[in-house]
Amino acid sequence: MAIRKVGVVGCGLMGSGIAQVSVQAGFPTVVREVSQPLLDKGFAAIRKFLQGGVEKGKLAQADMEKTLANLTGTIEIRDLADCDLVVEAVSEDRALKRELLGALDAACRAETLFASNTSSLSITELATFTKRPERFLGLHFFNPVPLMKLVEVVSTLRSAPAAVREASDWCRAIGKTVVSVGDSTGFVVNRLLIPYMLDAIRVYEQGLASRDDIDNAMKLGCGYPMGPLLLGDYVGLDTTCSIAGIMFDEFREPRFAPPPLLKRMVLAGQHGRKTGRGFYDWSTNPPS
Ligand code: 3HC
């Protein structure tokens, strides 16, 4: 089945980015949020990014307006009924996803392809919340979605090869490179990235090196675009801690266990960029 119209559920950091890259690639896209203020916030982020592209000379103003005209916001699930692909990008709450996927399953056609952008929950389990496990898979995008080139396409034991092919083709059509992954917690990227980030926090916690020296070590020593502590702030320390917790539950390996400092920072509301404070102070630009 050809994908013509795309639905995205959730217009937060990831959902807004996915909706943006979809509509920029020419797919009429509907994005659903639970409330108008959240929808407005997501649209403002998309507009800001596109405007940044105009200012950098990467996008013509007219193309920006054309792109935005193809993007529809809604707070109703039923407005996604005629989509060929629906990508779920709501927060990592199993119960929330269960309810939402059930409602989407009832609203959409049987052949509509469903994908979840979860970074740590089991795609196999999420698929059981619908009556279409053969047309359900994972599409794991990376933050910031418009700039990061990769999508992990996650198939389960029940995903139909045709569904995987259609989803992979759509990812390529929106300009992403695809890697194919089986359904295992964290897939490939987070399986490798999360223990690395947790180790950086442990090194800092043990006083082995300062924040800046840890980040500079990995930036300048390994050529990474950001050091691991800055990346933690950027991704969100709450998100990092939650993914680590889920991975620890799954694998029972100490390398996935969230370090005490990370847990304390999350409890203290120091979640990184989103709360203005993490390992860095984000009220200044660049963070200090
Ligand atoms: N419109 C169009 N292009 C834009 C743009 C815009 N609004 N803003 C930036 N760009 C372009 C720039 O022009 C530049 O293009 P060029 O390479 O052709 O010159 C490119 O994007 C990079 O932009 P900047 O120079 O402004 O930014 P940086 O070079 O500082 O890079 C970054 C920013 C891409 C965020 C980089 O720091 C990076 O890659 N960081 C690591 C991010 C990462 O690891 N993400 C994954 C996190 S893990 C995850 O998401 C998984 C989850 O499950 C946890």
Q: Given the structure tokens 């199993």, which residue do they identify?
A: 94
Is the dihedral angle over the CA atoms 154, 157, 163, 165 positive or is it negative? positive
Q: Where are the domains of the chain?
A: 6-182, 191-274
What pTM did the predictor assign?
Answer: 0.96
Question: Could you tell me if the CB of 150 is within 6 A of ligand 1?
Answer: no
| Residue 17 Cα to ligand 1 middle (Å) | 12
Ligand 1 centroid distance, CA of 81 (Å): 33
CATH 1.10.1040.10 fits 191-274, yes or no: yes
Of the listed 16, 140, 166, 242, which one is catalytic? 140
pLDDT of residue 184: 96
Tell me which of 16, 116, 119, 242 is the catalytic residue. 119
pLDDT in tens, 112-143: 999 999 998 999 999 999 999 999 999 999 99
Q: In whole angstroms, give the CA distance from residue 272 to residue 145.
A: 18
Distance CA 234, CA 278 (A): 9
99 a catalytic residue: no
Alpha-carbon dihedral sign for residues 264, 267, 271, 275: negative
Q: Is 27 in the pocket of ligand 1 (CB under 6 A)?
A: no
Ligand 1 center–CA 100 separation, angstroms: 31
117 is catalytic: no
Q: Whose CA is nearest to atom 22 of ligand 1?
A: 147
Question: Can you list the residues of the chain whose pLDDT is less than 50?
Answer: none
Name the residue with the closest Cα to ligand 1, atom 20: 147
Asked if the 6-182 domain carries CATH number 3.30.365.10, the reply is no
Under 8 Å between Cβ of 7 and 116: no
> Would the CB of 175 count as within 6 Å of ligand 1?
no
Write a three-state SS string for the chain: CCCCCEEEECCCHHHHHHHHHHHHCCCCEEEECCCHHHHHHHHHHHHHHHHHHHHCCCCCHHHHHHHHHCEEEECCHHHHCCCCEEEECCCCCHHHHHHHHHHHHHHCCCCCEEEECCCCCCHHHHHCCCCCHHHEEEEECCCCCCCCCEEEEEECCCCCHHHHHHHHHHHHHCCCEEEEEECCCCCCHHHHHHHHHHHHHHHHHCCCCCHHHHHHHHHHHHCCCCCHHHHHHHHCHHHHHHHHHHHHHHHCCHHHCCCHHHHHHHHCCCCEHHHCECCCECCCCCCC
Task: Give the residue whose CA is nearest to atom 49 of ligand 1.
Answer: 142
- Report the separation in Å between the CA atom of 225 and the middle of ligand 1, taken as the mean of its atom positions: 9
State residue 288's pLDDT score: 86
Determine whether 285 is an active site residue: no
Q: What is the pLDDT of residue 285?
A: 85
Kindly give the distance from the C-alpha atom of residue 119 to the centroid of ligand 1, in angstroms, as a whole number: 19
